[in-house]
A = this chain, B = another copy of it.
């Protein structure tokens, strides 16, 4: 397997896996392309490499910036905008976890709070329903706190001590 082939396989795999967990395939492909490219790239280069339209590239570059996974880089003497990916994989993972926490856990906590606030527990049935809503709140807040703690912690400390303690 040669380098070009391996890179293509990487980009393809990343794109396929991403769709399985709710992320746009093209966004994942652009991200992996930039992750594997040492220098920054402009829209035309990405279009050519991945064979996709300008609009698609533009839209997904915006999304990747929203996710905090890539950054715009203005090169002196160049009109075009260049983009470069964060290469520190620990930072990338943290950023993805952070965004997923915000997008997946946040709305759930809010929705459960709304339901709790809107319903008085004046019958047995309502109490039963509110019990489930409350349980989901508790579990979700727990997951949120746990993830948040991991995100705040230092990576090296995590590897060296956390895994040793908890992983048998």
A166:B153 contact, CB within 8 angstroms = yes
A1:B142 contact, CB within 8 angstroms = no
Binds B, one of A62-70, A72-80, A157-165: A157-165
B3:A126 contact, CB within 8 angstroms = yes
Chain B residue nearest in CB terms to A136: B89
- Copies per complex? 2
Question: Chain B residues near A59 (CB, 8 Å)?
Answer: none
A9 at the B interface (CB under 8 A): yes
- Within the complex, the shortest CB–CB distance from A103 to chain B, in Å, comes to 7
How many A residues touch the partner, as a band? Answer: 35 or more
For window 115-150 of A, CB contacts with B under 8 Å fall at 115, 118-119, 123, 125-126, 128-129, 132-133, 135-136, 138-139, 142-143, 145-146, 148-150
* Shortest Cβ-Cβ A-B pairs, 8 listed: A22-B22, A149-B166, A89-B135, A1-B118, A13-B111, A145-B167, A93-B139, A149-B167
- Among A87, A135, A139, A148, max chain B CB count under 10 A is at A139
Chain B residue nearest in CB terms to A152: B168
B93:A143 contact, CB within 8 angstroms = yes
